[in-house]
Amino acid sequence: MSIIAEYGPILLIMACVFGVFMAWGVGANDVANAMGTSVGSGALTVKQAILIAMIFEFAGAYLAGGEVTSTIRKGIIDPGIFTDTPELLVYGMLSALLAAGTWLLVASTLGWPVSTTHSIVGAIVGFAAVGISVDAVAWGKVGTIVMSWVVSPVLAGTMSFGLFRSVQWLILNKPDPFEQAKRFIPVYMFLVGFLIAMVTILKGLKHVFKDIGFIVSFVDAIMIAAAVGILVALIGNYFLGRIQKDEKAEVNNRFANVERVFAVLMVFTACAMAFAHGSNDVANAVGPMAAVISIINTGTVTAKSAMPAWVLLLGGAGIVVGLATYGVKVMATIGKRITELTPSRGFAAELGAAATVVFASGTGLPISTTHTLVGAVLGVGMARGIGALNLRVISTIFMSWIVTLPAGAGLAIIFFFLFKGIFSA
């Protein structure tokens, strides 16, 4: 307790700096999940994608990031272990933020799309297992997270494969794809409205509903999302009726007019996915930061920490800066280097990823948004044959996923003993 009293202001400043650094990493690496396919398919320019993501990621992080967060992300360790030595949890959270942020900096520089959740979880597991006790870690929880390495990409890839096959069958392989598009795209618009509403309700707005005491069940979410889907389909059908076929555009590409329609759909899905991502994944940065602030203010360890508005503001700002400075590198990997994307392929990948997030939210399956979208892009590529995939890039991405947990853990162990040596010496 005397250590916290003596070094409280310094530890508080360090928590804020490291938290913003981690949020920067989330923006630099993870935001490509929402925008990579839109940029790679040509639906949005890099500048447009960054502008849209900055607005919606920040709105999601600040407005729906949650007033209360678990002290320990994902229940990986029991905070009760630190009742008598709260300073050790402070060192641990600081080391976890710095370690995860450092790994995300390395991965973003190399253009590797890795999981920010796995980065912070690996860091927490590392300091807890080595710095505290092997028994301090809930290894069952860690096992379910490792499961998501397989579950996320396989599920999203399967859904995206099926979606793009349906686009090929119903629209692209027909004699007049534009007329077929006008007939069937309202159905896809319903799916877009339904799934994005589900993602936003279950991921993006769950904290807001909880804070006002309104609990939305999965069935309630389905009913609200179905209404949104019907509305989107009706509005979309109205605007589709006003789109005229441009014969000149189809001279070099018979799908040019069809891809134009899918490009508009992608902008909508990208905005909603960015909002949901900002609200959900900002906790990877601000959760540990809020835990440190709570311990310094109260001198005790609790399972839940109040989330001051200024902490969410810092997290949202960090995400935006990370996206604007380094987001392009990971966007290029997801959007261009795995497989060649067009708006219709990118749409199938994004919608498949959204469907996976909804399915996982309803069933409690552990997933990673990064692994989900990469798997979705792979699924779309597979629909065109194995030759459409860049297997060298894919193998590099898979290796970076495997390395993420141990890299975060190793760095966190080093930083934990460094902080312990400095402040507890």
Residue by residue, pLDDT tens for the chain (425 residues) are 578 878 888 999 999 999 999 999 998 988 776 788 888 888 888 888 888 888 888 887 777 666 445 545 557 887 778 888 888 989 999 999 999 999 999 999 998 999 888 899 899 999 999 988 888 888 888 888 788 778 889 999 999 999 999 999 999 888 888 888 888 888 988 988 898 788 778 766 766 666 666 667 888 889 999 999 999 889 888 877 777 888 787 777 888 888 888 888 888 778 877 877 777 777 788 888 888 888 888 878 776 666 777 888 888 889 889 988 888 888 888 888 888 888 999 889 988 888 887 787 677 666 777 888 889 999 999 988 888 889 999 999 999 999 999 999 999 999 999 999 998 76
> What is the SS3 string spanning the chain?
CHHHHHHHHHHHHHHHHHHHHHHHHHHHHHCHHHHHHHHHCCCCCHHHHHHHHHHHHHHHHHHHCCCEEECCHHHCECHHHHCCCHHHHHHHHHHHHHHHHHHHHHHHHHCCCCCHHHHHHHHHHHHHHHHHCHHHECHHHHHHHHHHHHHHHHHHHHHHHHHHHHHHHHHHCCCCHHHHHHHHHHHHHHHHHHHHHHHHHHHHCHHHHHHCCCCCCHHHHHHHHHHHHHHHHHHHHHHHCCCCCCCHHHCCCCCHHHHHHHHHHHHHHHHHHHHHHHHHHCHHHHHHHHHHHHHHHHCCCCCEEECCHHHHHHHHHHHHHHHHHHHHHHHHHHHHHCECCCHHHHHHHHHHHHHHHHHHHHHCCCCCHHHHHHHHHHHHHHCCCHHHECHHHHHHHHHHHHHHHHHHHHHHHHHHHHHHHHHCC
Domain regions of the chain by residue span: 2-423
